[in-house]
């Protein structure tokens, strides 16, 4: 294992920001355990991040003290539950800098947010010959809903290519925008490659032709400050569980003008203002799109997670994760037979790689024996694997609570894989 003194000089635990990262790590109880006799190193943050005590406690508190259904009761518990639920909406509004709280729709996650737009926004507008434009680095969640809606309407899916560094080819993007394009749906940050896309420029180019843009923010929202008004995106989708909040909850942000003009695609309780057998009138925004009892505890926990990351500061988090990315890249690149897939100039703290000596699943299995958790597979982005002509990659994705020791343990583990599989 490299000694601290031999480390590339990229960071110290107490960064210029003044944030004590070592102390923050203590907020995550799951990280303080042994896996196969070794301290856990958790490097699968792009799949889901761990939860701080504050989030766990807020969910516990909600169930112990406030649990009731929202928007329905006039008794104290229901009022408390409603207040906590709606307070979280205000927090999301601030977190994304949305112009209005009504633009924040709670959904199950990024996947549901995109499906909502596909069914409520795109489906009624699309006709044969229309086009939806995505990129070659999308997660299946930002491919399949569009394929489904294309099948339902006769529209076509178009794909912007990416170059060998895993960057969107902007010239091709501009060429693909045309009068038939009804929507651009692009990932802000790629989960499989780490690329941070030039979304501001892409949105501006689409808007020049009055084409609305949806951003898949599943990987961006945890790692950089998102301002939907500055971006001027029409829709933004994100998942709580990647931002240190609970699973099963997420957000669709949409510009009010679009949301007002959209019909809900799910019917049920809470999304109506009146129902008779002859006619139903839908509720106002945002409730129109929140049919049924929502994941109240999840929303409460998510609100706490947003408080938690906002206290640290997204800019501080981004800076710390860039330090870790730089360190990890420097430590991993010299390892024998290792090739990083995804070398965009602008990159988040995600390192996908392949090794000459072993399949990604074997790498992940050997690392697990050493207490190091990484992901192996296609990362729900099979077309990315095809683009780079690899069956799968191993992926280490870093969060602010990771540190240089974690990265050293990863490197040690990879050396062990090389020893076992290639005797090197």
Where in 335-364 is the site for ligand PLP (CB under 6 A)? none
Tell whether residue 322 is a contact of ligand PLP (CB under 6 A).
Answer: no
Q: How far apart are CA 362 and CA 376, in angstroms?
A: 9
Tell whether residue 397 is a contact of ligand PLP (CB under 6 A).
Answer: no
Tell whether residue 218 is a contact of ligand PLP (CB under 6 A).
Answer: yes
Tell whether residue 120 is a contact of ligand PLP (CB under 6 A).
Answer: no
250 contacts: CB under 8 Å, gap ≥ 6: 106, 107, 108, 109, 110, 111, 112, 113, 237, 238, 239, 240, 241
Binding mask 373-392 for ligand PLP (x = CB under 6 A): -------x------------
With contact defined as beta carbons under 8 Å apart, do 325 and 351 qualify?
yes
Q: Is the dihedral of CA 417, 418, 419, 420 positive or negative?
A: positive
Q: Which of 31, 380, 382, 390 is catalytic?
A: 380
**Which residue in the set 11, 59, 109, 303 belongs to the binding site for ligand PLP (CB under 6 A)?**
109
Pairing state between β 38-39 and 156-160: unpaired
**Which residue in the set 11, 49, 191, 349 belongs to the binding site for ligand PLP (CB under 6 A)?**
191
Query: What does the angle CA 193 – CA 198 – CA 199 come to, to the nearest 5 degrees?
Result: 105
Pairing state between β 280-282 and 272-275: antiparallel
Tell whether residue 216 is a contact of ligand PLP (CB under 6 A).
Answer: yes
Which residue's CB is nearer to ligand PLP, number 24 or number 252? 252
Is position 233 annotated as part of the catalytic site?
no
**Which residue in the set 45, 82, 141, 397 belongs to the binding site for ligand PLP (CB under 6 A)?**
141
Tell whether residue 111 is a contact of ligand PLP (CB under 6 A).
Answer: yes
- Which residue from 413, 420, 422, 417 is spatially nearest to 35, judged by alpha carbons? 413
Near ligand PLP by CB under 6 A, which window of 55-63, 135-143, 352-360, 395-403? Answer: 135-143
With contact defined as beta carbons under 8 Å apart, do 249 and 297 qualify?
no
Which residue's CB is nearer to ligand PLP, number 250 or number 371? 250
Q: Which residues contact ligand PLP (rule: CB under 6 A)?
A: 46, 109-111, 139, 141-142, 187, 191, 216, 218-219, 239, 380
Q: Which residues are catalytic?
A: 380
């Amino acid at each position: 294992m490299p000694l601290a003194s031999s480390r590339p000089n990229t960071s110290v635990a107490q960064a210029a920001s003044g944030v004590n990262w070592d102390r923050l790590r203590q907020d995550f109880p799951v990280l303080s355990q042994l896996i196969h006799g070794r301290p856990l190193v958790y490097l699968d943050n792009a799949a889901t991040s761990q939860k701080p005590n504050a989030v766990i406690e807020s969910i516990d508190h909600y169930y112990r003290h406030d649990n009731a259904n929202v928007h329905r009761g006039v008794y104290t518990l229901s009022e408390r539950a409603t207040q906590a639920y709606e307070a979280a909406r205000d927090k999301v509004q601030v977190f994304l800098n949305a112009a209005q709280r009504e633009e924040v729709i709670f959904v199950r996650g990024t996947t549901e947010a995109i499906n909502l737009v596909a069914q409520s926004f795109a489906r009624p507008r699309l006709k044969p010959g229309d086009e939806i434009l995505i990129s070659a680095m999308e997660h299946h969640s930002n491919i399949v809903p569009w394929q489904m809606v294309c099948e339902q309407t006769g529209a076509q899916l178009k794909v912007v290519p990416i170059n060998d560094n895993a960057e969107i080819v902007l010239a091709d993007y501009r060429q693909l925008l045309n009068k038939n394009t009804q929507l651009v749906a692009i990932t802000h940050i790629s989960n499989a490659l780490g690329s941070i896309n030039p979304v501001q420029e892409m949105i501006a180019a689409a808007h020049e032709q009055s084409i609305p843009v949806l951003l898949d923010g599943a990987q961006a929202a945890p790692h950089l400050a998102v301002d939907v008004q500055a971006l001027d995106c029409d829709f933004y989708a994100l998942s709580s569980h990647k931002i240190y909040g609970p699973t099963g909850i997420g957000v669709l942000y949409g510009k009010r003008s679009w949301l007002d003009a959209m019909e809900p695609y799910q019917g049920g309780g809470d999304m109506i203002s009146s129902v008779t057998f002859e006619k139903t009138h839908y509720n106002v925004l945002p409730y129109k799109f929140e049919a049924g009892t929502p994941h109240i505890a999840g929303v409460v926990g998510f609100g706490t997670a947003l408080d938690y990351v906002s206290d640290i500061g997204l800019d501080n988090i981004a800076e710390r994760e860039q330090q870790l990315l730089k360190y990890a890249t420097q430590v991993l690149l010299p390892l024998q037979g290792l090739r990083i897939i995804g070398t965009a100039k602008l990159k988040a703290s995600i390192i996908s790689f392949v090794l000459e000596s072993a399949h990604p699943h074997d790498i992940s299995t050997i690392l697990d024996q050493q207490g190091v958790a990484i992901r192996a597979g296609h990362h729900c982005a099979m077309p990315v694997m095809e683009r780079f002509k690899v069956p799968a990659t191993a992926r280490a994705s870093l969060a602010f609570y990771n540190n240089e020791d974690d990265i050293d343990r990863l490197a040690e583990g990879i050396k062990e894989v090389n020893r076992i599989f290639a005797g090197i």
